[in-house]
Structure 1
Amino acid sequence: MIDHKTAPMGILALRVTTGALFLVHGLVKLFVFTPAGTAGFFESLGLPGALGYLTMLFEILGGLALILGVKARLVSAAFVPVLLGAAIFGHGSAGFNWSNAGGGWEYPVMWAVVQAALALLGDGPYALAPTQKRA
């Protein structure tokens, strides 16, 4: 059973929290690891370096979109394959536990499930540009 009074606030909390975390991850790639360093890391995984730039940009812009509620359902859905790619290519060889060297794959998979749930739940309250018109 869904509590229709509190569920929207739960969606808002998940949307803003995950948006903030994506924004921070993208900014760390930009300012700490640098764009060239991020691209180099992606290349070390056997991925195109350009994918590092795209991931960094998507984390920053997508994080802001989630925080503000701009097409949040679509952004959340788009994060799912990015996170599954991170689980497979970035953390897959490290095993299941996040505390393993290199981090485990379960953490990005959990975030992929959270983003899939947000895509199914909707934009939530205070969305600046909802994916669907409210009835």
Structure 2
Amino acid sequence: MEKNVQIGGLIIRFVLGVIFFMHGLQKFQGGIGNTAGFFQSMGIPGFLAYAVGTIELVGGILIILGLGTRVIAALFALIMLVAILKVKLKAGFVGGYEYEIALLSMSLFFTAAGHPYFSLDNLLNRRKQGATVKLQG
């Protein structure tokens, strides 16, 4: 992979992680019970606010570190899809769900492609491959 593409992906992965981390942090600092109430008002079970907040908070850190990138990105994509369909769709594209579409697209990219550049996933895979080579050799 070309170095510029790797650096660009790293920047996008970092930004995606920071955005989700901050949203998760906001849910807990603002009172997760308030978020649960909002979820219920939208027809979403309130207990899911705790799951979403945790995925955003912890997942944001994991994406920044590049650990479990594909799985976390898939969870982010699911969260964005539900946010678009249940909350933002009525408002239309501009001023409605354009931001969520951007986050959904970034998440889908990492779900499909992963991103090994400067990631713990890559480091762990190298160690695993090195151990396999040593066992076989």
User: Which position in structure 2 is the counterpart of 1:14?
Assistant: 12
Identity %: 32
User: Which position in structure 2 is the counterpart of 1:101?
Assistant: none
1:85 to 82, 86, 91: 82
1:124 and 2:121 correspond: no
Counterparts of 2:39 and 2:16 in 1: how far apart (Å)?
Answer: 23
SS across alignment from 1:114 = helix
* CA RMSD, 1 decimal: 1.9
Cα deviation, 1:79-105, whole Å, max 9, x if unaligned, reads 11111101111212222222xxxxx02
Counterparts of 2:75 and 2:66 in 1: how far apart (Å)?
Answer: 14
User: Which position in structure 2 is the counterpart of 1:64?
Assistant: 61
The answer (yes or no) to whether the contact 2:55–2:75 under 8 Å persists in 1 is no
Q: Output the amino acid matched with 1:84.
A: L
Question: What are structure 2's unaligned runs of at least 5 residues?
Answer: 130-137
The answer (yes or no) to whether the contact 1:71–1:123 under 8 Å persists in 2 is no
Judge which range, 5-14 or 124-133, deviates more: 124-133
Instruction: Tell me by how many angstroms 1:70 deviates.
Output: 0.6
Distance 1:105 1:36, change over 3 A: same
Instruction: Tell me by how many angstroms 1:73 deviates.
Output: 1.8
Aligned residues: 127
Instruction: Tell me by how many angstroms 1:31 deviates.
Output: 0.4
Instruction: Tell me by how many angstroms 1:133 deviates.
Output: 3.1
Instruction: Tell me by how many angstroms 1:131 deviates.
Output: 9.7
Instruction: Tell me by how many angstroms 1:120 deviates.
Output: 2.4
SS across alignment from 1:124 = coil
Counterparts of 1:6 and 1:70 in 2: how far apart (Å)?
Answer: 21
Q: Output the amino acid matched with 1:11.
A: G
Structure whose CA Rg is larger: 2
Counterparts of 2:23 and 2:83 in 1: how far apart (Å)?
Answer: 13
TM-score (normalised: structure 1): 0.85
Counterparts of 1:80 and 1:118 in 2: how far apart (Å)?
Answer: 10
Question: What are structure 1's unaligned runs of at least 5 residues?
Answer: 99-103
Q: Output the amino acid matched with 1:21.
A: I
Counterparts of 1:29 and 1:127 in 2: how far apart (Å)?
Answer: 27
